[in-house]
């Protein structure tokens, strides 16, 4: 029989089974979250097929959904156990310094495999153990025709679309709006091996099957009462293992970085920026003066990046790079080195990474990895491990494997381009893309989005001289909103220095963050983010889509006492379509009982820097 036809029949039978068995299943175990507000119910039908349902705040969100692997539909339950865990995780860097790790866990042992399920206050996770997983029966059978958004490569995300209207294949993160007070997200955590999560929609239904093959991972259902709750979650990281006991990651330092790719071709007061030593030193000097930890060197420094003859340890400008690393080190600035997959494949990878570590580089930006996602995942893991061994941070670019909480096990995995980055791929993204991506892509982990442009026209740039549809206030705001272990700033020093208030805001983004909180937001509309820096300053940023809006921001995140608030917002005539550089600055004294009203221009934003004062 034709394989594709057989698969279609199987899916049809599976969906038929969902509807029939939903009426004839019986409950054999319940698992309740520590706060008692979430519940997962495990069910079986008369033949022993296993299902689960998920209830949050008294409402069923996932109805009877199949569980199982390798077509072993019918199973005999041999034992079941429950336990409760309550501890904390103290990450080296992340959204906050202390993360509660509290859940109830159930272990269901069947004849052929075991299901381990954990229910946190903000979501459900389960995985299969004791068996080699070739395929899964796992499905997400949503209880209504909700709206959803999905990852879409280096393009604007798909959505909002109703679940029944989805195409056959969708990629996570899948963010779902149930109502104004209930949101879900489907993703995975700790993908040890196999294909990254792939979702197969059953046409005309609200059912999505796991179509990935050979995956060893947690299946995760995140839950929030606002989309910001999903953004603030640590569920994916908590499902990854802690580092090995003898691992030393004390050298890791998250922070800001300047970048040589977008500066190329810019001219200011007679100086032309290029990807060369004079420009690199100029960028290092600027970074050193402004609390910016790194300079990132992009492609072609060791020769044309796609040329197999370009030697990543001997070619091109290697001697200049070695001189630069020493020059930057004397000024407390680290240098990142780009490595293309061509160089990674045609020269000894371990030796290349070891050399970069010995030179004193700070990190590696790895680009254009080839192969299927199933092939990329173990290679990504290997490169991350090699970088850790050589005390190098790592950033994966150009259609990477999605993040799934790796930063807990390997804190040197500080970011990746799992999004459409600003001015990337010879295109720009529109304001709506940013305020969608932060509620979809960013749920998976730290993103390299390259925000923070100050020259809004980009004239003379070599790679992509396109005007940026944003305001400079929004660009500065996005540097704070986007969660990343390295925030890469794309412009030349002089344009930042032309806007000292915005430069001070950006340079005050001192990581690791002590606390983060999404204050408000709607998917595809706007977001307001607050973060507390390692220096004790609070920073709040807002960004909107193409719509102008006024927002009232409560300052309840502040501790007791008075703060000097520097409020930067778009001017009345500003817009992402024109007058992009017009903004106003207001300074006032505030406390945690105050509210601040800000105006966001179309495609605009607002930035608040809050510094504690004695009086």
pLDDT value for 15: 44
Give φ, ψ of 163 to 5 degrees: -55, -40
Say if residues 315 and 302 touch (Cβ distance below 8 Å).
yes
Alpha helices in 76-209 (DSSP H): none
- SS3 call for 177: strand
Length, in residues, of the chain: 615
**What residues pair up with 391 in beta bridges, in sequence order?**
none
The tokens of 244 are what? 């090995």
The pLDDT of residue 20 is: 36
Model pLDDT, residue 548: 98
Amino acid 24: pLDDT: 62
- Rounded to whole angstroms, how far apart are CA atoms 530 and 541? 7
The answer to whether residues 209 and 199 touch, using CB atoms and an 8 Å cutoff, is yes
Q: What is the pLDDT of residue 280?
A: 98
How far is residue 127's CA from residue 145's CA, in Å, rounded to a whole number? 26
- Output the pLDDT for position 615: 62
- Strand 26-32 and strand 38-44: the pairing is antiparallel
User: Are the beta carbons of 422 and 261 closer than 8 angstroms?
Assistant: no
**Number of Cα atoms under 13 Å in the Cβ half of residue 42:** 25
- Report, as ranges of residue numbers, the positions in the chain whose pLDDT lies below 70: 1-25, 615
- The residue with tokens 């595809």 is 524
Task: Compute the chain's Rg from CA coordinates.
Answer: 25
Q: What is the pLDDT of residue 4?
A: 38
Cα distance between residue 293 and residue 291, in whole Å: 6
What pairing do the DSSP bridges indicate for beta strands 562-570 and 605-613?
Answer: antiparallel
Two tokens, residue 344: 């990674």
Stated as kind and residue range, the H or E segment containing 164 is: none
Please give the Cα distance from 424 to 229 (Å, whole number): 29
Following DSSP, what letter does each residue of 16-72 receive, concatenated?
HHHHHHHHH-EEEEEEE-TTSSEEEEEEE-TT-BEEEEEEETTEEEEEEEE--BTT-
List all residues 6 or more positions away from 104 whose beta carbon is below 8 Å from its beta carbon. 31, 32, 33, 34, 82, 83, 84, 85, 118, 119
Distance between CA 417 and CA 434 in Å, rounded? Answer: 13
What are the beta bridge partners of residue 598?
551
* Rounded distance between C-alpha atoms, residue 486 and residue 91, angstroms: 16
Query: What is the greatest pairwise CA distance in the chain?
Result: 80
pLDDT tens, position by position, 17-32: 444 344 466 778 899 9
């Amino acid at each position: 029989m034709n394989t594709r036809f057989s698969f279609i029949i199987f899916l049809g039978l599976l969906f038929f089974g969902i509807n029939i068995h939903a009426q004839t299943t019986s409950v054999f175990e319940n698992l309740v979250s520590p706060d008692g507000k979430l519940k997962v119910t495990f069910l079986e039908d008369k033949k022993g097929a296993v299902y689960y349902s998920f209830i949050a705040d008294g409402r069923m969100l996932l109805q009877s959904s199949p569980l199982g692997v390798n077509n072993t539909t019918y199973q005999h339950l041999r034992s079941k156990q429950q336990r409760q865990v309550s501890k904390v995780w103290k990450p080296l860097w992340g959204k906050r310094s202390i993360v509660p790790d509290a859940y109830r866990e159930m272990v269901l042992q069947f004849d052929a495999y075991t299901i381990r399920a954990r229910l946190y206050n903000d979501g459900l996770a389960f995985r299969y153990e004791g068996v080699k997983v070739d395929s899964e029966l796992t499905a997400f059978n949503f209880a209504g025709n909700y709206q959803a958004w999905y990852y879409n490569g280096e393009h604007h995300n798909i959505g909002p679309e109703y679940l029944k209207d989805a195409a056959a294949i969708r990629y996570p993160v899948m963010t779902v709006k149930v109502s104004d007070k209930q949101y879900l997200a489907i993703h995975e955590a700790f993908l040890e091996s196999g294909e990254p999560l792939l979702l197969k929609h059953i046409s005309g239904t609200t059912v999505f099957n796991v179509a990935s093959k050979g995956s060893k991972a947690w299946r995760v259902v995140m839950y929030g009462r606002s989309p910001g709750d999903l953004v603030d979650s640590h569920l994916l990281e908590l499902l990854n293992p802690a580092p090995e006991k003898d691992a030393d990651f004390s050298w890791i330092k998250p922070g800001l970085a300047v970048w040589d790719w977008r500066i190329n071709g810019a001219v200011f007061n007679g100086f032309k920026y290029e990807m060369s030593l004079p420009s690199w030193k100029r960028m290092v000097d600027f970074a050193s003066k402004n609390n910016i930890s790194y300079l990132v060197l992009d492609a072609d420094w060791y020769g044309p990046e796609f040329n197999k003859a370009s030697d990543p340890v001997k070619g091109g400008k290697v001697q200049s790079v070695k001189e630069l690393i020493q020059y930057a080190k004397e000024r407390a600035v680290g240098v990142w080195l780009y490595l293309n997959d061509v160089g990674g494949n045609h020269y000894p990878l371990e030796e290349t990474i070891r050399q970069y570590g010995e030179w004193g580089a700070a990190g590696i930006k790895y680009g254009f990895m080839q192969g299927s996602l199933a092939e990329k995942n173990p290679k990504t893991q290997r490169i991350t491990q090699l970088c850790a061994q050589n005390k190098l941070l790592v950033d994966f670019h150009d259609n990477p494997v999605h993040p799934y909480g790796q930063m807990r096990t390997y804190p040197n995995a500080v970011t990746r381009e799992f999004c459409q980055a600003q001015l990337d791929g010879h295109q720009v993204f529109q304001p709506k893309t940013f305020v969608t991506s932060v509620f979809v892509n960013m749920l998976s982990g730290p993103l390299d989005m390259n925000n923070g442009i100050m020259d809004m026209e980009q004239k003379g740039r070599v790679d992509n001289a396109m005007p940026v549809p944003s305001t400079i206030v929004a660009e500065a705001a996005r540097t704070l909103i986007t969660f990343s272990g390295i925030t890469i700033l794309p412009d030349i020093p002089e344009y930042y220095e032309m806007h000292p208030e915005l430069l001070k805001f950006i340079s005050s983004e001192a990581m690791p963050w002590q606390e983060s909180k999404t204050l408000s937001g709607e998917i595809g509309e706007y977001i307001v983010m607050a973060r507390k820096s390692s220096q004790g300053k609070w920073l709040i940023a807002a960004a909107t889509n193409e719509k102008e809006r006024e927002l009232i921001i409560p300052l309840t995140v502040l501790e007791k006492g008075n703060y000097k608030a520097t409020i930067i917002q778009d001017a009345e005539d500003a817009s992402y379509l024109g007058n992009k550089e017009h903004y106003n600055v207001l300074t006032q004294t505030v406390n945690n009982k105050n509210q601040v009203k800000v105006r966001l221009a179309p495609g605009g934003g607002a930035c608040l820097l809050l510094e504690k004062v004695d009086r």
